Amino acid sequence: MQLSDKDMLTDLLLGTKSISTAYHHGVLEAANNRTRNTFIQLNNEELNFQKQIFDIMHDRNWYQVEPAQMTAASQQQQRTVAPQQMNVREDYQVEQRPY
């Protein structure tokens, strides 16, 4: 059985999503800046690749995106806390970990 172009692009899209998730976890867990920056760079490249695949699929009507309802967007906006609304002490400092 031969895969169609749609099947191959769907497989690539799912793969890029999975790889990007792994790179994201690598960024979060990196123990030093060099490793972290490498994961960030790799993740950005993967996200760009994912966008290219998505654009091709969307242009061919193989990946439909349902527009968000205004009420859903409004609800999400209400759930998102703006930084100026957060109660953060001004004297708060992040402890630096030795590397």
Give, for all 99 residues of the chain, the pLDDT tens digit: 899 999 999 999 999 999 999 999 999 999 999 999 999 999 999 999 999 999 999 999 999 888 877 776 677 777 765 555 555 455 544 455 554
pLDDT at 72: 65
Task: Count the helices and strands in the chain (H runs, E runs).
Answer: 3, 0
8 Å CB contact between 56 and 12: no
Read off the pLDDT of residues 64-80 as tens digits, 9 standing for 90 and up: 888 877 776 677 777 76
pLDDT at 49: 97
